[in-house]
Amino acid sequence: MNVHSIENCRKVSPRTASQNQEIQAVSRAKIVESALTLFAQHGYESTTIKQIAEHAGISQGLMYHYFVGKEDLLRMVFRRCVEPLRQMMEALDETPAPQQKLEWLIRQVFEIAKNDQTAARLFYALRSQMAFLNILRGETLELVNALRDIFEDCFRGLGREQPAVEAALLYALLEGMLRHYLLEPEWFPLDAAVERVIALFCARESVK
């Protein structure tokens, strides 16, 4: 070994634990994004681990270093899809008044869908697939019920006589609007529809 080789060896230092964790986090995120894209294009059942690995630019064997299998990956893709909704619900303390809170929620639901249409489409597409329901029914219901509970609390604060009914109606209406928008975003009059929903649901009523 010559002097230059010795000097090069001295310059090369092993990665730290934090650097390894950062690299692994980037790789996991890349795999999840690849799975999200392919699930949206081909469906969960028709997408293979091999396809996801190729899309992510890694070996199929390395995939199993990060995920136990396709079901494990599906859970991560689902959590990636709904993370903006979870963050939205966690930020509600900043808007304490029920009228402002409800209006903000309605706007945010559609902003989230507009900003990441691929994830939003996948979320609704997966919910119609039996494999998804078998694996993630519990997590899905938990998220849906949490959002409905927030709506109900807002309607209660607005003095509505049947806050649970109002919450169920609003949730169903928003979900229907989202599905139509995601199917035909160029056609659906989203901004006008959102303003109409706010006008219908966010007015304060006196408690009787």
Predicted model pTM: 0.79
- CB atoms near residue 52 (< 10 Å): 24
Q: What is the pLDDT of residue 123?
A: 85
Q: What is the pLDDT of residue 38?
A: 92
Q: Please, what are the averages of pLDDT over each run of 10 residues along the chain (208 residues)? A: 48 65 80 91 89 92 88 91 91 80 95 92 81 84 93 94 96 94 92 96 67
Q: What is the pLDDT of residue 84?
A: 92
Q: What is the pLDDT of residue 208?
A: 45
Tokens at 11, concatenated: 């310059």
Q: What is the pLDDT of residue 206?
A: 43
How many residues does the structure list for the chain?
208
User: Do residues 57 and 143 make contact, with C-beta atoms less than 8 angstroms apart?
Assistant: no
Q: What is the pLDDT of residue 16?
A: 81
Q: What is the pLDDT of residue 135?
A: 85
Over the Cα atoms of the chain, what is R_g?
23
User: Do residues 119 and 66 make contact, with C-beta atoms less than 8 angstroms apart?
Assistant: no
Q: Is the dihedral of CA 83, 67, 132, 114 positive or negative?
A: positive
Q: Which amino acid is at 90?
A: E
Ramachandran bin of 147, using left for φ above 0, alpha for ψ from -120 to 50, beta for the remaining angles: alpha
Q: What is the pLDDT of residue 31?
A: 92
Q: What is the pLDDT of residue 17?
A: 65
Domains and CATH numbers, the chain: 17-201 (1.10.357.10)
The string of DSSP codes covering the chain is --HHHHHHHHH--PPPHHHHHHHHHHHHHHHHHHHHHHHHHH-TTT--HHHHHHHHTS-HHHHHHH-SSHHHHHHHHHHHHHHHHHHHHHGGGG--SHHHHHHHHHHHHHHHHHHTHHHHHHHHHHTTSHHHHHHHHHHHHHHHHHHHHHHHHHHHHTT-S-HHHHHHHHHHHHHHHHHHHHH-TTTS-HHHHHHHHHHHH-------
User: Do residues 173 and 197 make contact, with C-beta atoms less than 8 angstroms apart?
Assistant: yes
